[in-house]
Structure 1
Amino acid sequence: MDTRHLVDPELLPALALFPPFDIAEPGLENLRSMMDGLAPTPESLVCDDIALQRITVPASPAGPELGIILHRPVGQTGSLPLYFHIHGGGFVLGSAIMSSPANIVLAREVGCVVASVDYRLSPEVTGQQPVEDCYRALCWLAGNAQSHGIDPSRIAIGGESAGGGLAASLALMVRDRGTIALAMQMLICPMLDDRTQGDHPHCGEFVWTAEANAAAWALRIGNEDVVQDRRGYIAAARADDLQGVAPAYIAVGSLDLFLEEDIAYARRLARAGVPVDLHVYAGGYHGFELAADASATRRTMEDRFSVLRRTFQGDGS
């Protein structure tokens, strides 16, 4: 496969910023150590207009303590809408603080509280447990909304890559359990299907490959029977029924490994009567937003801010 000529020229330089994703041991531990070293420090995130606060979801019979980083616009009074964010990393990497620079910008541009959760990673936990962590954190925030200045009637969820896949599964779980009325699910290049679609002639050459995807899913699934995952709590694409889930915004690059599974999920949502807003960005590979100055990145970020603003104002899809 040689698709470099199809990459948006403005996005080409950023390809050198991505490490090879060697998910198999001992590569995974090396990757985790490297990413920990790249994480921003709390001091580097201090700014005048967005306050950061680390809070803890108490341990319960359902699981241990979970950390959440809140990003809140300074000086805004009253209850603000909540964007509940789930970080990416193939289910096996990443942390909430790695996403804080982007979440600061989102909180500033949208005027909402952004909460990013440190769910447990695989292979330490498998199956639907990472989604259960996210569900427990979301319910705890909704239940303590007043003390954190959150409007519980205006909650959206979302994430990137694995975080987008977890958000899709979380939307299914919230629907099934009837606990929270979600305003929207924002799925950015979501990792939805364990049946790695690696035969597309123009997708998956860069950043996140079919090989990395298969290795990451194997660690996430563990010994679980994913074929029986009819509710979609492990892989959202396996859910039998998508009716009644929150309206969806889905964005993916045209060269992303997840292009076809994301389009297929958008089609299924639409056929189930769920409002869905699908964006495919020409020449974009997985994680192309790292090219911060590229016009495609500016366009996709403004699209996200815009749909969140409209959703929280009550006239979005």
Structure 2
Amino acid sequence: MTDTTASTDQIGPPPPYDPELAESAAVFAEVMPSPTTPNLISAFRSGPTGVEPSSGDELSRGGEFQIFERTVPGPAGESDITLLVCRPTGASAPTPAIYAMHGGGMILGDRRTNLPDMVDLAASVGAAVISVEYRLAPEHPHPAPIEDCYAGLVWVAANATELNIDPGRLVVAGASSGGGLAAAVALLARDRGGPELAGQLLLAPMLDDRDDTPSVRQMASRDMWDHTLMDSGWTALLGDARGGPDVSPYAAPARATDLSGLPPAFIYGGSVETVRDEDVAYASAIWRAGGQAELHVWSGGFHGFDLMAPQAAVSQAAKAARTSWMRRIVKV
């Protein structure tokens, strides 16, 4: 699904940033570790990269959500995994649920990373959020991260009564690498016969290890998470297999040749976005397979623009669009 037909001389300069986002882009660029740093991954894990964990007080939204954790069985033969649950306080009837996978390029982050954004979405539709702690690359390459995510999903669906959630209104979600994991979990759930999913919320998902679309080349050294950083994440996950012929679609969903039978997808990103073209291609492939996908590419948006500049008009529009989709998917 990667478009490699356009030669470099046919690709113009990057689209301009949205005026409200330009200042945030400059600030973010200043705090990012240099892409040429030999210890890139350790620098990310110790530095201010915009994916900082959140506190329980922040997640509870003043008591609106009950926060607790569950240790649940991991993949067969592997260690247990931890799920962080944010459940609407005092809900009587079972609620919809968002099963969330955090971003961080497969190399950093944890179950609390940028979770308030998902909790904000959940609050708008009366849903719970369950965030999975999956193992990170390169210490734990594929298939460790996706198998952790799938094992957690299986437990959530099987224990819906304990969590007071409606298993018929369960949506997988994630941003960046978390969006790629959410797409891969949807593929696994289809291919392994469940759990059944109501939808997949893919926010600027990282889908294609080949890293060779026009937007990858156009946004080199421009987007917040550019080709060098994408390459670092994919290589950590896949090692020497990255970009080769034998990469699993459960690692890089853009490799999937059959996208039929998937739950409805919501895909969004920005026009100044390294993953822009692979995300557009994924939505198009879902449509060609006869599936449902809602696609938004926000003019002037960079990778993670809605998190970096949440009050910008384009960020507010993006958040409103995903809330509208969620309301329709979980029928509230």
TM-score, normalised by the number of residues in structure 2: 0.88
- Give the match for residue 190 of structure 2: 175
Match of 1:20 in 2: 32
- Determine the C-alpha separation between the residues in 1 that align with 2:178 and 2:238: 16
Displacement of 1:198 after TM fit?
5.8
Identity of aligned residues (%): 35
Distance 1:59 1:238 in 2: 25
Summarize deviations over 1:109-132 as a string: whole Å, max 9, x none. Answer: 111011111111100111222111
Deviation at 1:21, TM superposition (A): 4.8
Superposed CA offset, 1:232-270 (max 9, x none): 111101112111111111101011001111111111110
Distance 2:75 2:234 in 1: 27
Residue identity opposite 1:32 in structure 2: R
> Residue by residue, what CA displacement relative to the aligned partner does 1:283-308 show, whole Å, maximum 9, x if unpaired?
00111111011011111111111111
User: Counterpart in 1 of 2:87?
Assistant: 72
Q: Supply the distance in 2 between the matched residues of 1:35 and 1:122 (Cα, whole angstroms).
A: 19
> What is the deviation of 1:2?
6.1
The alpha carbon displacement at 1:35 in A equals 5.3
- Counterpart check, 1:294 vs 2:294: no
Alpha-carbon distance, 1:227 to partner? 2.1
**In 2, are the aligned partners of 1:85 and 1:114 still within 8 Å (CA)?**
yes
Q: Does the aligned pair in 1 maintain the 2:59–2:86 contact within 8 Å?
A: no
Are the equivalent residues in 2 in contact too, given 1:21–1:208 (CA < 8 A)?
Answer: no
Match for residue 241 of structure 1? 258
2:295 is matched with which residue? 278
Counterpart residue number, 2:8: none
SS of residue matched to 2:245: helix
- Structure 1 runs, 4 residues or longer, greater than 6 Å off: none
**Does the aligned pair in 2 maintain the 1:198–1:210 contact within 8 Å?**
no
Give the 5 Å matches for 1:79-228.
79-197=94-212, 199-200=214-215, 202-204=218-220, 205-224=222-241, 227-228=245-246
**Structure 2 CA distance, aligned partners of 1:212 and 1:160?**
16
Query: What is the RMSD of the two structures over their aligned residues, measured on CA atoms?
Result: 2.2
Against the structure 1 CA distance between its residues 199 and 310, is the aligned structure 2 distance closer, same or farther, given a 3 Å change threshold?
closer
Alignment partners' CA distance in 1, 2:241 and 2:276: 26
State how far apart, in whole Å, the 1-side matches of 2:74 and 2:148 are: 11
1:51–1:72: 8 Å Cα contact kept in structure 2? yes
CA displacement, residues 36-91 of structure 1 (integer Å, 9 cap, x when unaligned): 99433334444221222122213563421211111122222121111111111001
Secondary structure of residue in 1 paired with 2:170: strand
1:60–1:207: structure 2 CA closer, same or farther, 3 Å change rule?
A: closer
Residue pair 1:106, 1:114 contacting (<8 A) in 2 also: no
What runs of 5+ residues in structure 2 fail to find an aligned partner?
1-11
Distance 2:280 2:237 in 1: 23
Partner of 2:56: 42
Deviation of 1:27 after TM superposition, in Å, equals 2.5
Name structure 1 gaps, 5 residues minimum: none
Alpha carbons of structure 1 residues 63 and 111: separation in structure 2 relative to 1, 3 Å: same
1:11/1:288 contact within 8 Å kept: yes
Does the 8 Å contact 1:126/1:219 carry over to 2?
yes
Distance 1:144 1:22, change over 3 A: farther
How does 1:45-64 map onto structure 2 within 5 Å? Answer: 45-46=59-60, 47-59=62-74, 61-64=76-79
Which whole-Å CA distance do the structure 1 matches of 2:34 and 2:239 have between them? 18
Aligned equivalent of 1:33, options 20, 26, 46: 46
2-side partners of 1:268 and 1:12: how far apart? 32
Distance 1:122 1:155 in 2: 27
CA distance in 2, matches of 1:62, 1:298: 44
- Tell me the CA shift for residue 20 of structure 1: 2.1
| CA shift in 2, pair 1:193/1:294, >3 Å | same
Q: Aligned with 2:114: secondary structure?
A: helix
Matched, 1:310 2:328: yes
Count of residue correspondences: 312
Give TM-score scaled by structure 1 length: 0.91
Q: Distance in 1 between matches of 2:52 and 2:321?
A: 28
2:24 is the counterpart of 1:11: no
Contact 1:71 1:107 in 2 (8 A): no
